[in-house]
Amino acid sequence: MITKFPGKRYNFEIRVEKDQRTSAFSIRAISKDTGRYSSINNLNTILSELGVDNDNPKYNDSTWVLGVKEAERFSDVIKKYLASPRFVHYLERKLDEDRACGEWENILTDNPDN
């Protein structure tokens, strides 16, 4: 399931792919200017809002394999934050800083499942 949120300079997607026991969870930021995207769930801003231990290796990758309930809880938390214009403004500033340190290489194609 993909839940989309528009921002000013970025669009955001919460992605949760479930099977019977686990879920693949990620959050994407997509630059409106370039179409380039990055998974941002391991960004410190997101990690702190989710209350995860950033020293735990399961949260280091761009997609996290989680229990179904944990993925649903994280998705619910992030939905509330992305619905806040104030948080989105703050997050977009952090993403601008992140992109200034290195260009995002992933480019969206016409495939909506990317």
Write the CA distances from 35 to 5, 17, 31, 85, integer angstroms: 15, 23, 5, 21
Res 14: pLDDT: 95
Ordered per-residue pLDDT tens for the chain, 114 residues: 899 999 999 999 999 999 888 999 999 999 998 888 889 998 888 888 999 987 888 888 889 999 999 999 999 999 999 999 999 999 999 898 877 776 566 666 554 455
Asked if 34 and 89 touch (Cβ cutoff 8 Å), the reply is no
Contact between residue 79 and residue 56 where contact means Cβ atoms under 8 Å apart: no
* Residue corresponding to tokens 């919460």: 14
* Domain residue spans of the chain: 2-102
Q: Which single residue is written with the structure tokens 């809002």?
A: 49
Q: What is the pTM of this model?
A: 0.83
Q: Round to whole Å and give the CA distance between 82 and 84.
A: 5
Residue 97 burial (CB count, 10 A): 9
**pLDDT confidence of residue 111:** 47
